[in-house]
Structure 1
């Protein structure tokens, strides 16, 4: 195998696949990256067996030669070392040549490196993904779904299925739900092409975060294919395979109230900032608890106190308050993350009592729902 490549394009590809490489893997070859060279270009693959990322650098892009292919072939090279070497090479062109016994030579300017690689055929094969369970979502919408849900997954492994986001496809609609049992985030979208049948899969939160990073500012559509154990997200140049989490995801639809005793409409940014200020005192306490109370004249009071430090109270004007008066306590962190997911828009907060879960929606868009379980403080 022998080729010359533009260094910045090789670095772009490495940036993607390195996201999947872990030094903690129990399979030694997965500490490496697989390079496969054909006339069409260079394919890079990185994996930790949970996530596999593959990217293709085309030999020619927009009429410009990116890779000069001299001899086709494949090799596995030690990922972190190879990445560091390419990053620190002195010129913008790199020549890579693999000789017998997997000896890999890297040249750039007057700099020469020699690495010992491994047989590419020992690298695990990618799972087969069928075409009949695929749908397409625009890149910016995929990023929105991740931003609006993933923060609510569980961080504890005590219930592994809750560390993922449930993606449910039914009747031409995709519903994404995340919960750690103290709060819940849900996003619904209509699919442009309806899939036959129903699918319920749980995708690890970590995989979705990596997907969001890979998409970056891209405007390409993302092709999504589901199998029994894997999901594949594919853009024009990059494929991300993720294993699915096993286990039954709880039926969260019963958690969401259908009747409300108090409905408050207000500016989401003002509410976020008031809670942020109140949490300055709450943060010193272990639980980071803030209180919300409705007052006369469409006013809401946000307050917090700490026996050792002091207390804070702030009144905010709401657009409207309907129904019974409310006094409720909740985690400042959960509330701020929910409001951040609603992106500073005017919000409707609907309460069913001081000890019942309450929900937040954007005034303009009910496809995003955030639910928080309050905290008993008396």
Structure 2
């Protein structure tokens, strides 16, 4: 195999597939990047058997010449060294040639590296996916839906299903839900689908985080293909496979209260900054808890008390408070995460009592909500 390629395209592709490569894999060849050169261009693959990423670099893109193929072929090169080498090469063009016994020469300008490669035939096959169950979502929407939910997945392996985000598709509406049983994030969006299939799958939070990092901010469509145990995201030059989590996701609809006893409307920025300040002292304590109390004339008091450090209290003027007086404590971190995920300048919080979960929504937008369970402080 022998080809030359524009360095910036190669670097970008290598960075993308590196997101799937783990140094902790039990299959040694998976610490490498598979490179396949064909008449159409160059395909790079990285995998840790849970997530696989395939990136394609065409010979030409929008009249720009990217790859010259002298001899087709394939090789697996050690990912860590290859990615570092490619980044630091001196010139804009890189030439890669595989010689005897998988020894690979990488040249650029006056620099020449020799890397010992492995036989690409030994590299595990990517899942073969039938594409009949496909729907498409714009890139920027998918990025937002991931950002607004994935932070709420559980980091504990005691209930593995909660380490993923539940994606449900029904009647042309995609709903993403994540919960770690102390909080919940939900985001819905109408999408175009041709088939009337219903799906409910759980995608590992780790996979979604990595996928989100690869996506650029554009409105181009991402095709999503679902099978029994895999999901495939397809963009123009990228395939991103992730295994799905086994098991049934808990029914979260009954966690979300229908009624409320106290409704508060607040400016997001002011509220977020006051929680952030209160958490300065709370963070030191073992629980990072702040307390919210309603006061006369629509004033909300945010306070925190760490006996060994000190205390803080601050008053925030709400837009409105309706219903019963309330004192409630909750995790400052959970509240900050939730507020950062919501879009809009004003939020409405529906409280159903001091020990019941409360719901945060943006005004006039029911496509997303955040739910937090309070903390007992007495």
Q: What TM-score do the two structures reach when normalised by structure 1?
A: 0.98
* Residue 140 (structure 1) aligns with: 140
Counterpart Cα distance in 2 of 1:347 and 1:64: 48
Partner of 1:254: 254
For the residues of structure 2 that align with 1:44 and 1:235, how far apart are their CA atoms?
A: 15
Alignment partner of 2:339: what SS? helix
Give yes or no for contact 1:267–1:344 (8 Å, CA) kept in 2. no
State the partner residue of 1:220.
220
Q: CA deviation at 1:67?
A: 0.7
1:362 counterpart residue number: 362
- Report SS of the residue matched to 1:12: helix
- SS of alignment partner, residue 365 of structure 2: coil
Distance 1:350 1:336 in 2: 17
State the SS of the aligned residue for 2:49: coil
Q: Distance in 2 between matches of 1:168 and 1:39?
A: 40
- Which residue of structure 2 aligns with residue 169 of structure 1? 169
1:236 has 2:236 as partner: yes
- SS at 1:23 equivalent: coil
CA distance, structure 2, for counterparts of residue 364 and residue 56 of structure 1: 42
The ranges of structure 1 where at least 4 consecutive aligned residues each deviate by more than 4 angstroms after the TM superposition are none
The aligned runs of 1:66-85 (5 Å cut-off) are 66-85=66-85
- Tell me which residue corresponds to 2:263: 263
SS, match of residue 115 in structure 2: strand
C-alpha spacing 1:195/1:293, structure 2 compared with 1 (3 Å)? farther
**Aligned match of 1:116:** 116
Q: How far, CA to CA, are the matches of 1:253 and 1:216 in structure 2?
A: 32
SS at match of 1:328: strand
Contact 1:22 1:31 in 2 (8 A): yes
Q: Which stretch has the larger CA shift, 279-288 or 340-349?
A: 340-349
Q: How many residues align?
A: 378
1:217 shift after superposition: 2.7
Q: Secondary structure at the match of 1:97?
A: strand
CA distance in 1, matches of 2:217, 2:322: 41
- Deviations for 1:75-127, whole angstroms, at most 9, x for unmatched residues? 11111111111112121111111123212111111221111211111111111
1:374 paired residue number? 374
Match of 1:327 in 2: 327
Unaligned runs of 5+ in 1: none
Q: Secondary structure at the match of 1:269?
A: helix
**Alignment partner, residue 189 of structure 2:** 189
- Long gaps (5+) in structure 2: none
Q: Secondary structure at the match of 2:276?
A: helix
Q: Distance in 1 between matches of 2:14 and 2:334?
A: 35
Determine the structure 1 residue equivalent to 2:302: 302
The separation in 1 between residues aligned to 2:301 and 2:250, in whole angstroms, is 35
1:364 CA drift (Å): 2.9
Tell me, what secondary structure is at the counterpart of 2:219?
Answer: coil
What does 1:329-344 correspond to in 2, within 5 Å? 329-343=329-343
* Mapped partners of 1:356, 1:215: distance in 2: 38
Shift of 1:194: 4.8
For 1:350, the equivalent position in structure 2 comes to: 350
How far residue 228 of structure 1 moved from its aligned partner, in angstroms, is 0.5
Is the Cα–Cα contact under 8 Å of residues 94 and 108 in structure 1 kept in the other structure? yes
* Corresponding position of 1:40: 40
The aligned counterpart of 1:23 is 23
* 1:48 CA drift (Å): 0.5
Q: Distance in 2 between matches of 1:219 and 1:76?
A: 34
TM-superposition CA deviations, 1:219-243 (whole Å, max 9, x none) = 3211111011100111101111000
Check whether the contact 1:269–1:344 (CA below 8 A) recurs between aligned residues: no
**CA 329–139 in structure 1, closer or farther in 2 if over 3 Å, else same:** same
